[in-house]
Structure 1
Amino acid sequence: MKIAVLSPVAWRTPPRHYGPWEQIASNIAEGMVKKGAEVTLFATGDSITTGKLDSVCSHGYEEDRTQDAKVLECLHISNLMEKAGDFDIIHNNFDFLPLTYSRLIKTPVITTIHGFSSQKIIPVYKKYNSIGHYVSISDSDRSPELDYLATVYNGLNVQDFDFVEQPDDYLLYFGRIHHDKGCAEAIQIAQKSKRKLLIAGIIQDENYYREKIEPYLNEQIQYIGHAGPEKRNELLGKAIALLHPINFNEPFGMSVAEAMLCGTPVIAFNKGSMPELIQPEKTGFLVNDIDEAVEAVSNLKNINRANCRDWAKSKFSSEKMVDDYFNLYKKILGS
């Protein structure tokens, strides 16, 4: 089977630090190579793959701001579509724009919808409903206006995350520094529970950081910058819990699965996909507000960390994700 995996070109695939779509595109590509498929990854030129790499740029536009993002995206997507006939199937991890080529080529396109940036993009998905082969990354992140082939949870490389049975005594916030992700709420939870909090992630909203985060930094509340794979593994594993007090309906939540793979329970606001990712009182707690989160902190002693890892391995491994997608490829090609 000849597979083209289309990754975004904001960051390297796999990313050095931030880049969840790029990470999943990488895991899909590498998993398909292991299955014996002939895989071409369409990504930035500095990307890493055991398959073939095809690129139109040396670095992502978030890492080289001299590039125009929209121009780069158009060049990148058209590069693949002009070679569509070389492949049996195209796996689109690049949102809605590649769909506009899908009726102009004969190769079927399967699209993982990693989330909706706005309801305004739905009309493009609707236009290609009949041929889109859409996959959601959680049951919660589905539009009633679209037809779906399946839900496939994001899969992570389990071996990249070490199980830690005896953690250190700190809470962790791991994610973009942005209102949506609830960094300010995580600070309030730590303050009320009188626990140390480490904050790791890229600053996506400078004003939010200056107004809601920076004034509260001290010995107890520490911002340590973004964390690459090795540091991420250590931070997640040694935390007593990951705080995930999101202010939006998150489609998946990679850090939630990553934390549990390390054995670390998650305290999350009960929104979006969180009820699908977390087993209440077994792998973490689903809460509705800051006070409930503080109470959950005091109940962390009741969580068996081995249960967290076992659950995450069974649901969110790259092997399971790749198997699920490979079966979908065969289903599409068989039809």
Structure 2
Amino acid sequence: MKVAVLSPVAWRTPPRHYGPWEQVASNIAEGLVKLGVDVSLFATGDSITAGRLQSVCATGYEEDRSQDAKVLECLHISNLMERAGEFDIIHNNFDFLPLTYSGLISTPVITTIHGFSSPKIVPVYKKYNNRGHYVSISNSDRSPELDYIATVYNGLNTAQFEFNDKPEDYLLYFGRIHHDKGTVEAIEIAKKSNRKLLIAGLVQDANYFKEKVEPHLNDNITYLGNAEPAQRNDLLRNAYALLHPINFNEPFGMSVAESMLCGTPVIAFNRGSMPELIQDKKTGFLVNNINEAVEAIDKVKNINRKACRQWSESQFSREKMVADYLALYEKILG
């Protein structure tokens, strides 16, 4: 079987820091290669893969801002689609734009929908409902207007996340610095519980950071910048708990699965996919507001960190994800 995995070209695949779609595309490609599948990864030229790398640009447009994002995306997607006949199946991890080529090629396209940036993109998915093969990354993140062949949870390379049964006493916020992700709420929870908070992640909203986050930074509330994989592992495994007080219906939440892999429980607002990721009172706590989150911090000591690791490994491993996708490829190809 010859598989083309289409990754975005905003960041390197796998990403150096931020890039969840690139990370999932990488995990799919490398997991397939390990199983002996012939894989071509369409990504940036600096990407790393054990498969064949196909690229139209040296680096991603977020890492080299002299490039025009739309132009790069068009060149990137067309590079694959004009060679579609070389592959048995195309695995699209790059949103709705590649679907506009799918009526012009005979190679089947399976699309992992990594979330809806806006309801305005749904008509493109609807147009190719009968032709496309759509996969959701959680049961919560499905449009009633679309047909899905499966839900496949994002899978992680579990070897990259070390288990730790003896954490330090700090709380961790790990994710984009943005209202959606609840950075300010995490600060409020830490203050009310008199706990140290470490914040790591990409500043996606500079005004939000400057006005709402920066004024609160001190010895107890520290912003560390964007964490690299090695630093991410240390931050997650040594944390007392991960705070995930989201203000939107998050489709998945990679840091939640990563945290539990390290044995670190998660306190999350009960929205979106969180009830699918977290076993309430077993691997963390699903709460509805800041005060409930503060109360949950006192109960974290009752969580078995080993249970967190076992749960996350059983549900969110690269091996499980790749096996699920391989079964879907075979089903589509008949």
* Interval of TM-score (by shorter of Structure 1 and Structure 2): over 0.9
C-alpha separation between the residues in 2 aligned to 1:68 and 1:230?
31
- Give the corresponding residue for 2:182: 182
Using the TM superposition, give the Cα deviation of residue 131 of structure 1 relative to its aligned residue in structure 2, in angstroms: 1.3
1:35 lines up with 2:35 in the alignment:
yes
SS in 2 for 1:103: helix
Equivalent-residue separation in structure 1 for 2:243 and 2:206 (angstroms): 21
Map 1:290-305 to 2 at 5 A: 290-305=290-305
In structure 1, stretches of 5+ residues that fail to align are none
SS of 2:11's equivalent? Answer: coil
Q: Secondary structure at the match of 2:230?
A: helix
Q: Find the counterpart in structure 2 of residue 325 from structure 1.
A: 325
- The equivalent of 1:173 in structure 2 is 173
Query: Who is 1:99 aligned against?
Result: 99
Q: Deviations over 1:108-157 (max 9, x none)?
A: 00000000000000000000001110000000000000000000000000
Matches within 5 A, 1:55-94: 55-94=55-94
Matched to 1:307, the amino acid is A
Q: Distance in 1 between matches of 2:156 and 2:60?
A: 22
User: How far apart are the structure 2 equivalents of 1:68 and 1:87?
Assistant: 28
Q: Alpha-carbon deviations, 1:55-99, whole Å to 9, x = none?
A: 000000000000000000000000000000000000000000000
| Partner-residue secondary structure (3-state), 1:131 | coil
How far apart, CA to CA, are the structure 2 residues paired with 1:224 and 1:27?
Answer: 26
Other-structure match for 1:135: 135
Q: Which portions of structure 1, spanning 4 or more consecutive aligned residues, are displaced by more than 6 angstroms?
A: none
Quote the residue 2:159 is aligned against.
Answer: 159
RMSD: 0.3
In the alignment, residue 169 of structure 2 is paired with which amino acid?
A: D
- What do the CA deviations read for 1:166-189 (whole angstroms, capped 9, x no partner)? 000100000000000000000000
Q: Distance in 2 between matches of 1:260 and 1:53?
A: 32
User: Displacement, 1:224?
Assistant: 0.6
Q: Shift of residue 217 of structure 1?
A: 0.3
Q: 1:208 is paired with a residue of what secondary structure?
A: helix
Which residue does the alignment assign to 2:231? 231
**Matched residue, 2:196:** 196
1:158 is displaced (CA, Å) by 0.5
Aligned-pair identity in percent equals: 77
Give the corresponding residue for 1:126.
126
User: Residue 13 in 1 paired to residue 13 in 2?
Assistant: yes
Partner of 1:47, secondary structure, is coil
Give the Cα separation in 2 of the matches to 1:55 and 1:148: 30
Residues 224-244 of structure 1, C-alpha deviation per residue, up to 9 Å, x if partnerless?
101010000000000000000
Tell me the CA shift for residue 274 of structure 1: 0.1
Per-residue Cα deviation, 1:208-231 (whole angstroms, up to 9, x for no partner): 001110000001100010101000
Answer yes or no: is 1:265 the counterpart of 2:256: no
Residue 48 of structure 1 is matched in structure 2 by 48
Q: Which runs of 5+ in 2 are unaligned?
A: none
2:244 aligned residue: 244
Q: Distance in 2 between matches of 1:38 and 1:197?
A: 45
Aligned residue identity for 2:200: A
1: CA distance between counterparts of 2:163 and 2:303? Answer: 14
Q: C-alpha offsets along residues 244-284 of structure 1, whole Å, 9 cap, x if unaligned?
A: 00000000000000000000000000000000000000000
2:66 counterpart letter in structure 1: T
Aligned to 1:110: 110
Provide the rounded CA distance (Å) in 1 between the counterparts of 2:267 and 2:329. 36
Q: Secondary structure at the match of 1:90?
A: strand
TM-score by length of 1: 1.00
SS where residue 134 of structure 1 aligns? Answer: strand
SS in 2 for 1:100: helix
Q: How many residue pairs are counted as aligned between the two chains? A: 334
Q: Deviations over 1:180-204 (max 9, x none)?
A: 0000000000000000000000100
Q: 1:102 is paired with a residue of what secondary structure?
A: helix
For residue 35 of structure 1, report the CA deviation from its aligned partner: 1.1
- The separation in 2 between residues aligned to 1:18 and 1:290, in whole angstroms, is 27
AA matched with 2:103: R
In structure 1, what is the Cα distance between the partners aligned to 2:47 and 2:131? 30
**Residue matched to 2:208:** 208
**TM-score for both structures, normalised by structure 2:** 1.00
Partner of 1:307: 307
TM-superposed CA distance for 1:26, in Å, is: 0.3
